[in-house]
Amino acid sequence: MTPSRPEIRGLPLVRSLLKHPWLTAGAVATAIALGAAAIMISGVVPIKASSGHWWITARLLDFSKVRSVATHSLTIKAPPLDLGDPSLVLRGAGHYETGCAPCHGAPGTAVPPVMAAMTPPPPELPDHVSRWKPEQLFYIVKHGIKFTGMPAWPIQERDDEVWAMVAFLRRLPGMDAATYRALIDGASGKDVALIDSGVPSIVRTVCSRCHGLDGTGRGAAAFPSLAGQHAEYLERSLKAFADRRRLSGIMSAVTAALDDEVIREAVSYYARLPQRASEAASDRTLVARGQLIATMGVPDRSIPACSECHGPAEVPKNPAYPILASQYPEYLTAQLQLLRLRRRGGSGNENLMHVFVGRLTTEDIEAVTAFYGQLRSIPRLR
């Protein structure tokens, strides 16, 4: 039987396609790319957020997001900390109110209308965070998500801050408005008494969320106690946070919009408050070892005495250096660890610490922070 004319013409093309599959695939890919380029150049694809996504587009994008987060979070290992620690949750809550609630809303507050008009709109997190493992939440919070308006963490070096946010997010499902407000605004009785005592506006509306109106960090080691601290040190620190010489995603966001006058108001207020009443240490042997390190240093490892800059001493010390007495040991420990990792930064004097902080052992840090944490004030040496 003689083949028809169309069949005769098609056989060589089929044989050519089968003989050169990679060449054929390349030609098809090139054709698709040229077609896509032509569509984009033509401008016929709408980018308006008001139209939303097609159902299939939304499903494909969500599937791609879930798979990407799952893959890229495989190598993330949670540090040895308790994500249910109330101090950690409190720390994350403070930043959530400032950096997250304006887009995602909060318990008792829906996603704001302007943000809800985005494509895609920010999800109401209480209904969504449970789908993610802690490591996946860490990846999302730290790195953000492209094409969604979800930003990366402002300071990539501060994983500890990101984990605090993860701790808070894990508590968010089921949290009611009253519980949330208690985390954000919870005031002690002393705080309430201070409300009408000339508190600067910036302290009342922003700083107190973490540090309290009485400056003691709301009684939790999640935040440093600022009460009675040197005003010069506080001012230098806030300016260093603002220009990112001192590293903190939380504080850089808070300080970015503060002018010099507002900063001076805040630091003057906290500097004149009475220091936090420290708690008695349970391990006197540990405190005694810490006192030796603080007042004598560790000569055989070329570690100078902490008291040279931070007291206790018979003469006043440089007000650009922080007072460590009565500070939370957990906070001091965290700062020393950040200094060891070169992930803290500072207001210009941190390089003095970099010289020797790596020589401190974990036991040294535990002892010296316990010593300073139990000091009620800086005593004079005899």
Closest CA to 81 of 177, 159, 196: 159
pLDDT beyond 80 at 342: yes
DSSP 258: -
Q: What is the pLDDT of residue 17?
A: 62
Q: What is the pLDDT of residue 381?
A: 41
- Structure confidence at residue 187 as a pLDDT band (50, 70, 90): low
The pTM (predicted TM-score) of the whole model is: 0.86
DSSP 348: S
Question: d(Cα 115, Cα 97) in Å, to the nearest integer?
Answer: 15
CATH topology of domain 59-184: Cytochrome Bc1 Complex; Chain D, domain 2 (1.10.760)
Query: Stretch 353-379: mean pLDDT, rounded?
Result: 90
| Omega prior to 107 cis, within 30 of 0 | no
Percentage of the chain exceeding pLDDT 70:
90
CATH topology of domain 187-271: Cytochrome Bc1 Complex; Chain D, domain 2 (1.10.760)
CB under 8 Å to 95, separation ≥6 — which residues?
161, 164, 165, 249, 250, 253
- Structure confidence at residue 220 as a pLDDT band (50, 70, 90): confident
Question: d(Cα 108, Cα 95) in Å, to the nearest integer?
Answer: 17
What distance separates the 2 farthest-apart alpha carbons in the chain? 118
Query: Stretch 270-294: mean pLDDT, rounded?
Result: 92
**pLDDT per residue over 57-113, tens digit each?**
899 999 999 999 999 999 999 888 899 999 999 999 988 998 999 999 999 999 999
Helix (H, G, I), strand (E, B) or coil at 248: coil
Q: Which two tokens stand for residue 46?
A: 């709408």
Sign of CA dihedral 200, 201, 204, 206: negative
Closest CA to 311 of 259, 227, 251, 377: 377
- Mean pLDDT across the chain: 89
Tell me how far the alpha carbon of residue 61 is from its chain's centroid.
27
CB under 8 Å to 76, separation ≥6 — which residues?
135, 138, 139
Q: What is the pLDDT of residue 10?
A: 53
pLDDT beyond 80 at 1: no
Query: Stretch 157-170: mean pLDDT, rounded?
Result: 96
Q: What is the pLDDT of residue 68?
A: 96
Q: What is the pLDDT of residue 22?
A: 75
Q: What is the pLDDT of residue 7?
A: 53
Q: What is the pLDDT of residue 76?
A: 95
| Cβ atoms of residues 215 and 268 within 8 Å | no
Say if 59-184 and 187-271 have the same CATH topology.
Answer: yes
Q: What is the pLDDT of residue 81?
A: 86
Closest CA to 244 of 154, 141, 165, 319: 154
Q: Which of 34-48, 327-341, 355-369 has the lowest mean pLDDT?
A: 34-48
pLDDT beyond 50 at 50: yes
Task: Determine the Cα angle at 34 with ends 32 and 37, to 5°.
Answer: 110
Q: What is the pLDDT of residue 323?
A: 94
Q: What is the pLDDT of residue 190?
A: 56
| CATH no. of 284-373 | 1.10.760.10
Question: d(Cα 257, Cα 122) in Å, to the nearest integer?
Answer: 24
Domain-by-domain residue ranges, the chain? 59-184, 187-271, 284-373
Q: Which residue stretches of the chain are H helix?
A: 5-19, 21-42, 55-72, 86-95, 101-104, 113-116, 134-143, 159-171, 177-185, 189-194, 201-202, 208-211, 231-242, 249-255, 260-271, 284-296, 307-310, 329-340, 350-354, 362-373
pLDDT beyond 80 at 378: no
Q: Which two tokens stand for residue 286?
A: 């540990």
Query: Stretch 145-166: mean pLDDT, rounded?
Result: 95
Q: What is the pLDDT of residue 379?
A: 47
Count of other CB atoms within 10 angstroms of residue 52: 14
pLDDT beyond 80 at 13: no
Burial class, 215, CB count within 10 angstroms (exposed 0-12 / middle 13-18 / buried 19+): buried
pLDDT beyond 70 at 300: yes
Closest CA to 202 of 151, 261, 128, 274: 261
